[in-house]
Amino acid sequence: MAGLLSATTSGFLLGGSLIIAIGAQNAFILRQGLLREHVFVLCLICSLADAMLIAAGVGGLGTLVASSPKLITVVTIGGAIFLACYAVLAFRRAVHPETLRAARGGKGSLKAAVAACLAFTFLNPHVYLDTVLLLGSLSGRFAGPARLAYGVGAAAASFVWFFGLGYGARLLQPFFARPAAWRILDIVVGLVTAGIAVSLIARLFAQA
């Protein structure tokens, strides 16, 4: 029992350390949480996607992905293009910032939000590097039930983080009642997504 608890804790802490970072996916969930738009569905998608990728990594898919550089290249290019486009949209929003009340006046469609969420999740090579390769390779320290417990702990960290971020964002709503706050948020989102896009392309050329 102690061994299973240790493996679960190890997976939870490592999974949490990888996901708790200012990234495009987290910035998207934060913004949706502030707007209170489709929060449950989007948090669930992100959490389940992470759980699925972690399960794949722990199950041994990490080795297969690592041996397929073409797959990583395709995902990298697609992710960079998507992130660059989203950065442009964020900077455009920053030019004409909105208040929280105005932002919530015209609720975005669930279909568009889900499509963006899936793109942020699966067009980001870091997702595969972190969940499939890194978490998957480190699961080799455990065997049998302990390895399963490690994967469960890592997946649990994703659920805790995304739902905490999505629903905890409403605590910041008084601050985002001012247009200037939305300008700051969108500038940060734009810088983060643009920075990730540039880093992806730079890494691709460095490996060429």
Cα(44)–Cα(82) distance, rounded to whole angstroms? Answer: 22
**How crowded is residue 33: how many other Cβ atoms within 10 Å of its Cβ?**
24
pTM of the model: 0.72
Could you read off the pLDDT of 87-96 as tens digits, one per residue?
888 888 788 7
What confidence tier does 167 reach under pLDDT thresholds 50, 70, 90?
very high
What confidence tier does 114 reach under pLDDT thresholds 50, 70, 90?
very high
What are the start-end ranges of the E strands in the chain? none
- 11 pLDDT higher than 70: yes
What confidence tier does 102 reach under pLDDT thresholds 50, 70, 90?
very low
- Give yes or no for a contact between 29 and 162, defined as CB atoms under 8 angstroms apart: yes
Cα(55)–Cα(57) distance, rounded to whole angstroms? Answer: 5
> In 3-state terms, what secondary structure has residue 208?
coil
Mean pLDDT of 59-63: 67
Could you read off the pLDDT of 115-138 as tens digits, one per residue?
999 988 888 777 777 777 777 767
Cα(163)–Cα(122) distance, rounded to whole angstroms? Answer: 19
